[in-house]
Amino acid sequence: MKATLTLLFLLISLTCFSQAQYICPGSKIPDGWIIVGQTPCGGQCGDRAGQICNMIIIKDISGAKVGVEESACPGSQIPDGWVIVRQEPCGGQCGDRAGQVCNRQIIKKLK
């Protein structure tokens, strides 16, 4: 039973994780994808010493079902069929720094 639950959890986790991709700043974000976070580049994007560089975390929401809500960082293009239903604080997930006001857009698929 434990093994079955563990495998089920692993399958669900991998499915959710596989939808996110990490891209370098300045990369074109494909249609149907939104920005869901940022993380330090760690030298992967050609950043130089002393330069602050954040990789952009994007998620494909093109196959989402009607009624699903997603959280998008500022700067995300809201895909057709989606609307903003509310805003929430970014909480540091969108590259915001201490003292900076940042609100994530909670979007919902209508059609």
Question: Tens digit of pLDDT for each residue in 72-87?
Answer: 999 899 999 999 999 9
Extents of the domains making up the chain: 20-109
Q: How far apart are CA 56 and CA 79, in angstroms?
A: 18
Its pTM stands at 0.75
> Which is higher by pLDDT, 72 or 91?
72
* 3-class state of residue 68 by DSSP: coil
Where residue 15 falls among pLDDT bands split at 50, 70, 90?
very low
Q: What is the dihedral of CA 48, 52, 53, 59, to 10 degrees?
A: 170
Ramachandran class of 16: left when φ > 0, alpha when ψ lies in -120 to 50, beta otherwise: alpha
CB 56 within 8 A of CB 38: yes
